[in-house]
Amino acid sequence: MRSAFSCVHNVGMNIARIPDGLKRLHFENRFTRELPADPETGSARRQIRNACFSRVRPTSVAAPRLVAYSAEVAEMLGLSAADCESAEFAEVFTGNRLLPGMDPHATCYGGHQFGNWAGQLGDGRAINLGEVIAPGGDRQVLQLKGAGPTPYSRSADGLAVLRSSVREFLCSEAMHHLGVPTTRALSLTLTGEQVMRDMLYDGHPALEPGAVVCRVAPSFTRFGHFQMLAARGEIDLLRKFLHYTLETDFPHLLTQYQAGSAQIVLAWFAEVCERTAETIAHWMRVGFVHGVMNTDNMSVLGLTIDYGPYGWLEDYDPDWTPNTTDAAGRRYRFGHQPAVAQWNLLQLANAIYPLVEDAAPLEEHLRGFETCYTARWQQMMAAKLGLKAFERDDGELLDALESVLQLTETDMTLFFRGLAELDPAMLQRPAELMDPLLQAYYLPGELTDDVRSEIHAWLAAYLHRVRDDGQAPEVRRARMNEANPRYVLRNYLAQQAIDKAEAGDYSMIHELLEVLRRPYTEQPGREAFAEKRPDWARSRVGCSQLSCSS
């Protein structure tokens, strides 16, 4: 493997050739200026002490090539289409070239993986190029995923393949347009090299095209950053790191509480709990399953982070997880995500306890997560059902809905979009009640008289509730269609795009990116992107099964 230093272009080389937008990127880099660095540089694997990051450069690759970029993220950063389509852009955001002001580094963190403490983890396949101040004044970190080894790569190569990179690029942007808090993706590039991967860890490795995604977020700070410092007993650095986090990502708290006090630590933790509850409620709203909710994959900003073996709930099965590594225990199954989030917050509370030295208020905020999540879930379900607000008696209606959705294989996305087409006037025509929902059922033969009777009973109860709610049908329908997407990144669609991309055809990546920009809007001519999972995808790898291999 090439040295991570030897082939990276000199920062000042050919500066005149750099497109204007790239020249204007202003790097602030507070993280590396204000926090202690590992005294050793380079990618040699090692344990880090009393430091928050290690400086390491991306590995140069053979033939950087742009596959796709997000116009919205580019605009946020002040980059034009010409900037993004330039050869220099591909060089920079695949790792072959550094711009003036960049300070590439990988950060150190730990975490619980599948409920067990894993010790030092860190950015094993991610290299932060630096922090830019966007034209609007916001701070954004630019991070390359798959740009080569770091001190935290352990026995891995730090690279990524096209398969997983397509999924990360598309899902990051799809989630943003769905209104789900998330990290963003600026670009997807090819390296021109092959990477060996054993996709299912079953002893059948194969070469795959190498790729890099440039991820963008105000911060990539994770629960695990705090856990690692606490686990090593580096309490002074833990305190310093939290103060840095407050200054950069939660400055409003510094205007309300005294820096360094237990009160500001608790206020920060309460906000992390609230942001996490908000994000998980959104996941449940759109049917997203993260697949690997380890504490090192949890953002303190409440962003969805690390798109690995994620999946979209097609058949409504609360016990489904896409992650083959989790197939036995199903720890990270769809219906368990709120509970896992609270457990992860408990681990964060344990990490910051030395800064508070009082368990009671931390426990109170953990209970507050449950209260906050329940409130957001109730609001979300009211919106999905087109109701003005959640009322106490609606709990029984929702419990019955949970059962109805599992009577037979039911496509979650299509069910809720179809539900918007119902109207209380249809109570006079009971034989028509299920008509708008028929497209949501995978196995029509399972719609026996008994199953239909249960579904009809729930639909009737629902429409009586809608009638009592008193909204005009068009108002209710619009409210529902703003909460229930028409288009999501279905697993089989992502796999079709990957199949084509691996054959050199990137057209479906671009088409999906375009469709997913308007997930709540009917798009004539694009009905194929809103169809339920075809039979061929029922058990295909990449559609129903995914691993952590990337």
Dump the DSSP string for 224-275: HHHHHHHHTT-HHHHHHHHHHHHHHH-HHHHTTS-TTSHHHHHHHHHHHHHH
- Helix and strand tally (H, E) in the chain? 18, 11
Spatial contact of 183 and 304, defined as CB atoms under 8 Å apart: yes
Number of Cβ within 10 Å of residue 542's Cβ equals: 19
Among the three residues 470, 499, 525, which one is the final residue of a domain in this structure? Answer: 470
Please report whether residue 46 resides in a domain.
Answer: yes
Which amino acid, residue 430?
A: P
| pLDDT tens digits along 53-68 | 999 999 999 999 999 9
Residues 67 and 101 occupy one common structural domain? yes
Instruction: Determine the Cα–Cα distance for residues 396 and 475; give it in Å rounded to an integer.
Output: 24
Non-local (6+) Cβ contacts of 134 within 8 A are 76, 77, 78, 140
pLDDT score of 538 more than 70: yes
pLDDT score of 200 more than 90: no
Please report whether residue 515 resides in a domain.
Answer: no
Residues 288 and 200 occupy one common structural domain? no
Instruction: Determine the Cα–Cα distance for residues 280 and 287; give it in Å rounded to an integer.
Output: 10
| pLDDT tens digits along 359-375 | 999 999 999 999 999 99
Give the total number of structural domains in the chain.
Answer: 3
As a whole number, mean pLDDT of residues 6-21 equals 59
In percent, the amount of the chain with pLDDT more than 90 equals 92
Q: Give CA torsion, residues 497, 524, 520, 454, to 10 deg.
A: -100
pLDDT score of 130 more than 70: yes
Residues 366 and 422 occupy one common structural domain? no
As a whole number, mean pLDDT of residues 218-240 equals 98
Residues 92 and 241 occupy one common structural domain? no
Please report whether residue 485 resides in a domain.
Answer: no
Spatial contact of 301 and 355, defined as CB atoms under 8 Å apart: no
Residues 179 and 271 occupy one common structural domain? no
Tell me the whole-structure pTM to 2 decimals: 0.95
Q: Which residues, in sequence order, are bridge partners of residue 323?
A: 546
CB burial readout 307-326, b (16+ within 10 A) else e: bbbbbbbbbbbeebbbbbbb
Residues 180 and 255 occupy one common structural domain? no
| pLDDT tens digits along 255-304 | 999 999 999 999 999 999 999 999 999 999 999 999 999 999 999 999 99
Please report whether residue 517 resides in a domain.
Answer: no
Percent of the chain as helix, strand, coil, to the nearest 5: 45, 15, 40
Expressed in angstroms, the distance from the first to the final Cα of the chain is 18
Residues 375 and 443 occupy one common structural domain? no
| pLDDT tens digits along 304-335 | 999 999 999 999 999 999 999 999 999 999 99
The answer to whether residue 249 is catalytic is no
Residues 173 and 245 occupy one common structural domain? no
Q: Which of 59-63, 454-458, 538-542 has the lowest mean pLDDT?
A: 538-542
Please report whether residue 375 resides in a domain.
Answer: yes
Residues 404 and 380 occupy one common structural domain? no
| pLDDT tens digits along 418-428 | 999 999 999 99
As a whole number, mean pLDDT of residues 49-53 equals 98
Residues 207 and 150 occupy one common structural domain? yes
Residues 60 and 181 occupy one common structural domain? yes
Please report whether residue 547 resides in a domain.
Answer: no
Please report whether residue 533 resides in a domain.
Answer: no
Please report whether residue 104 resides in a domain.
Answer: yes
Q: Which residue among 38, 83, 123, 296 is the active-site one?
A: 296
As a whole number, mean pLDDT of residues 369-398 equals 97
Give the pLDDT of residue 548: 73
Residue numbers of the domain that contains 411: 394-470
Number of Cβ within 10 Å of residue 444's Cβ equals: 8
Which amino acid, residue 144?
A: L
Residues 424 and 464 occupy one common structural domain? yes
Give the pLDDT of residue 9: 40
In percent, the amount of the chain with pLDDT more than 70 equals 97
Q: Read off the pLDDT band of 550 (50, 70, 90).
A: low
Token digits of residue 144: 């390359």
Among the three residues 470, 489, 506, which one is the final residue of a domain in this structure? Answer: 470
Among the three residues 173, 188, 223, which one is the final residue of a domain in this structure? Answer: 223
As a whole number, mean pLDDT of residues 512-524 equals 98
